[in-house]
Amino acid sequence: MNKPLPVVVLISGRGSNLEAILDAIADGELPVEIRAVISNRPNAAGLQRPALLGIRTIVIDHACYASRRAFEAVLQTTIDAFEPDLLVLAGFMRILAPEFVSHYRGRILNIHPSLLPEFPGLNTHQRVLDAGKRESGATVHFVTPEMDGGPAVLQARVPVIVNDDAGLLASRILEQEHRILPMAIRWFAEGRLRLDATGGVIFDGAALKRPRILLPEAQEPT
Ligand code: GRF
């Protein structure tokens, strides 16, 4: 068996995506070692579960720094001390400067609750509803300096249904986030997924022109 991939996870809040990663590791489905969980918010609920599991949890409160550059310098030094091969943004709600992102080129994955490139940024679900969309979803993508703009790797589609509101839609999409984030991390850990020198995604040795789509569980072949 290969050595588990060293990973650092950044969060800002609830941490349900982090929990999905931890569950997949516990189930033996994810060959990953979480070396640290770092939150930019001191009261992030998502710090509790890793702490109980004995994983290092660290708070680097962005509000304590005079500038983004100063915050990110400390963040980067802290992350690098753990020597991760992958950085996972699991509900990390700070925009990262190009210098920071470039330092981890090809080694950062993010989860975003829309079908990117549609609806980058915040307040996603309400904007989807306001636009009258009949479908939304979630995307795992490599992070590049452009916010929510890096190449998409894996998506799950979620229909918008009658009488949806932003909260209902968010919770159905969240269920899919919990499926696709561990799956994409597993691909990376298994060496199946990488970014090439030109910024394209390579999956199983071939260029990935479009993100893979994970079908709803009910439609997956048994
Ligand atoms: C998720 O919907 C994620 O896509 C978005 O923020 C939310 C974080 O949820 N960026 P959690 O902290 O993982 O529960």
Domains and CATH numbers, the chain: 1-104 (3.40.50.170), 111-222 (3.40.50.170)
Closest atom of ligand 1 to 89 CA is: 10
**16 CA: nearest ligand 1 atom:** 14
Ligand 1 center from residue 205 Cα (angstroms): 30
Q: Which mutation among 174, 176, 178 tests ligand 1's pocket best, with the greatest number of atoms within 8 A of CB?
A: 174
Residue 118's pLDDT band (boundaries 50, 70, 90)? very high
pLDDT of residue 110: 97
How far is residue 171's CA from residue 52's CA, in Å, rounded to a whole number? Answer: 25
User: Which residue of the set 112, 125, 141, 178 is catalytic?
Assistant: 112
Higher-pLDDT residue of 40 and 215 is 40
Interval 95-113 mean pLDDT: 96
pLDDT tens for each residue of 78-91: 999 999 999 999 99
Residue with the bigger pLDDT between 103 and 148: it is 103
Structure tokens at 132: 């009258």
The model's pTM is 0.96
The predicted model gives 94-103 an average pLDDT of 96
Our answer on whether the CB atom of 137 is closer than 6 Å to any ligand 1 atom is no
Ligand 1: residue whose CA is nearest its atom 9: 91
Buried/exposed code over 160-188 (b: 16+ C-beta within 10 A; e: otherwise): beeebeeeebbebbbebbbbbbbbbbbbb
**pLDDT score for 219:** 66
The answer to whether residue 112 is catalytic is yes
Question: Is residue 163 predicted with pLDDT exceeding 80?
Answer: yes
- In this predicted structure, the answer to whether residue 194 has a pLDDT above a threshold of 80 is yes
